[in-house]
Amino acid sequence: MENIKLIVGLGNPSRKYKKTRHNIGFRILEEFREQNKFPKFKIEKKFQAEISEGVINNTKVLLVKPQTFMNNSGLAVKLILNFYKIQPTQLTVVHDELDLPIGETKLSTDRGSAGHNGVKSIMQEIGTQNFTRLRIGIKPKKEGDVQGDTAIKNMVLSKFSKNEEKIINQIVKDACQKLSD
């Protein structure tokens, strides 16, 4: 289908992860859905994802929150791409980026995963890195480099501080605008 756009927000299912840094992709999709008056997300078991769909500027937009946990996000993405016959170039993935400080976002296309396991999973499953990524900075401003698997896991699964939350609220709005462009 030519006139379709797939926007995938990365995160982990379950309430305990809801406000964590790693779930910023889910959070942005929720806000985007509300701003654009799309229906509530519904579980689609055959895709292993929650999906909401609507139309923006004559383009069908599928919003997807994989329910496979972060490291297996590619499973849901591959199922949806194949079912709807969507090309990877019509895919935008919204995810947390530990290499970017809070308050920064970057759009990139046809780039490596930079070690992000959710992005790695997508690349492995769909066989290409030629898709767009909206990378959302989650690195605390006062932190140095976060090194080691345990430190990284603790960081991405932590919640934002009150001060960080103010920045994130603005970033969520900015990210939604970028997704609408």
DSSP 8: E
Q: Catalytic residue at 22?
A: yes
Spatial neighbors of 16 by CB under 8 A, at least 6 apart, are none
Tell me if 59 sits within 8 A of 181, measured CB to CB: no
Among the listed residues 8, 20, 22, 24, the single catalytic one is: 22
Report the 3 state secondary structure along 96-142: EEEEEECCCEEEEECCCCCCCHHHHHHHHHHCCCCCEEEEEEEECCC
Question: Which residues carry out catalysis?
Answer: 22
